[in-house]
Amino acid sequence: MAVPSPSPTDPAPDMAKARLRRTLREVRKAHVAALSLTDRAAEESALARHLEPLIARASVIGAYCPVGSEIDPRLALGGRSVVHPSFGEGGDTFRFRAGPCTATGPAGIPEPEPDALELDPDLVLVPLLAIDPVGHRLGQGGGHYDRVLGRYRASGALLVGVGWACQRLDFPLPAEQWDVALDAFASPAGLERFE
């Protein structure tokens, strides 16, 4: 992918991440803007096919309600037990809750109602801006997934990044000590597992 990698002389990793986020948001938006409705549907159908083997083995799937130019994984989830991030009555840490995304959470993100049943998923589909060759992800910058992925990893959940093929980078992302590498990346191009 033609995204510039951070220079070793960058003043701070968080500044490098901020620049990357801006660039990668534009790359994702441009990719989606270039898709016809038919092409977007075909890419999301391909993503669903690649997710099918993981979905079939999962009891409870932690998914997300896509916003903006995020790829929509919901086609793969039909008829399964699905939970979504919910901040409930506030705070900066979410829990996965059952039910439709009829409430509005931080930054206008759809989420289940605050009193919906809380369940722990054994498969977590993680939105992202980018993912690198070893599974480090770059998120939106709020740290919401960073605060919970370790807990779900410790409980044995499979952590799978989900995005468009253009979001898979061929260079390492700056990683912090709290970053949890994902187990795999699913895109319309396929499913890639990380060691």
| Sign, Cα dihedral of 163, 178, 175, 156 | negative
Output the DSSP codes for 92-132: S--EEEES---EE-GGG-EE--TTSPB---SEEEEE-SEE-
pLDDT digits (tens, 9 = 90+) for 63-84: 998 988 999 999 999 878 899 9
List domains and CATH numbers for the chain: 13-193 (3.40.50.10420)
132 pLDDT more than 50: yes
Residue pair 40/32 in contact (Cβ under 8 Å)? The answer is yes
Q: What is the pLDDT at residue 46?
A: 97
State which amino acid sits at residue 18: A
Cα angle: 136, vertex 122, 183; to 5 degrees:
25
Pairing of strands 103-104, 110-111: antiparallel
For the whole model, what pTM was predicted?
0.87
3 pLDDT more than 60: no
